[in-house]
Amino acid sequence: MIWPAAPTYADVVAAYPAKARAAKLGGRATLFCLFTRDGRLSDCTTLTEEPHGEGFAAAARKLAEKFRAFPTTADGKGLGDAAIQLPVTFDPAMLDVSQSVIGKPQWAGLPAFEDVQAAFANTPKNVGTVHVMLTCTVQPAGWLGGCGVASETPAGLGFGQAALALSGKIRLNTWTTEGLPVVGGRVNAPIRYESGDPVPPAAPAAKP
């Protein structure tokens, strides 16, 4: 499920049940919700809560108000009255502001082949496969911002700086399949480029 909007990292930390927060207790709840015509969630009920009675289900239901899906599916059908099982995970590690626990993020949008060719147009040719790792903060709607170059191979030839131009073309789903937030977290975005003949690069895999 692609969510253009979902609770942010800060939203989940703020909703963390007080007693569980003090005890640094982790938990998880799964909700059953209906979609409204505009892609929001309604009538959410609790399917599971682990551990039971620690407030995780109530916190998850409050967070459900912040989700928004595209109101129509890829084949043009409306979401009205469709249902979903929604996992929400509360990891005590996220209470440490120096960490970003975002699980396994998924790409929702990647640079086109033409974007990659344009970004690396002025870099050296025929130096083999180029690998650049960007470290970014996930912005609202899943876009990347505040990116820096964590590593580049080969180094010192401008490939890292060129790859930064692609960060604005990369978008992540705003919620993970494990039930963790993405917006506000830090993510590593690997970029691969073939500096010889122009062939489409393989799609990278997101890394938390």
- For 49-101, what is the HEC assignment? EECCCCCHHHHHHHHHHHCECCCECCCCCECCCCEEEEEEEECHHHHCCCCCC
Give the residue from 198, 196, 206 showing the smallest Cα distance to 116.
198
**pLDDT averaged over every residue in the chain:** 90
Residues 116 and 174 in one domain: yes
Same domain? For 90 and 111 the reply is: no
Q: What is the pLDDT of residue 148?
A: 96
Task: Please tell me whether the overall predicted TM-score, pTM, comes out greater than 0.85 for this model.
Answer: no
**Amino acid symbol at 171:** R
- Looking at residue 73, its pLDDT comes to 73
202 in a domain, yes or no?
no
173 within 8 A of 182, measured Cβ to Cβ: yes
* pLDDT-wise least confident of 7-16, 35-44, 148-157, 191-200: 191-200
The dihedral built from the CA positions of residue 49, 55, 60 and 61, taken in this order, carries a sign that is: positive
Instruction: Convert the pLDDT of each residue in 177-187 to its tens digit.
Output: 999 999 998 89
pLDDT above 70: residue 206: no
Q: What is the mean pLDDT of residues 104-126?
A: 92
Q: Which domain-ending residue is among 39, 60, 95?
A: 95
Domain with 111, as residue range(s), is 107-194
Task: Output the six-digit token pair for 171.
Answer: 């978008």
- Is 13 in the same domain as 89? yes
On whether both 88 and 126 belong to a single domain, the answer is no
Asked which of 95, 127, 150 is the last residue of a domain, the reply is 95
Please indicate, yes or no, if residue 112 is contained in any of the structural domains.
Answer: yes
Same-domain status, 86 and 116: no
Question: Could you tell me if residue 2 is inside a domain?
Answer: no
Report if residue 200 sits inside a domain. Answer: no
Farthest CA pair distance, the chain? 61
Dihedral-angle region of residue 165 (phi above 0 means left; psi in -120 to 50 means alpha; beta otherwise):
alpha
Residues 168 and 138 in one domain: yes
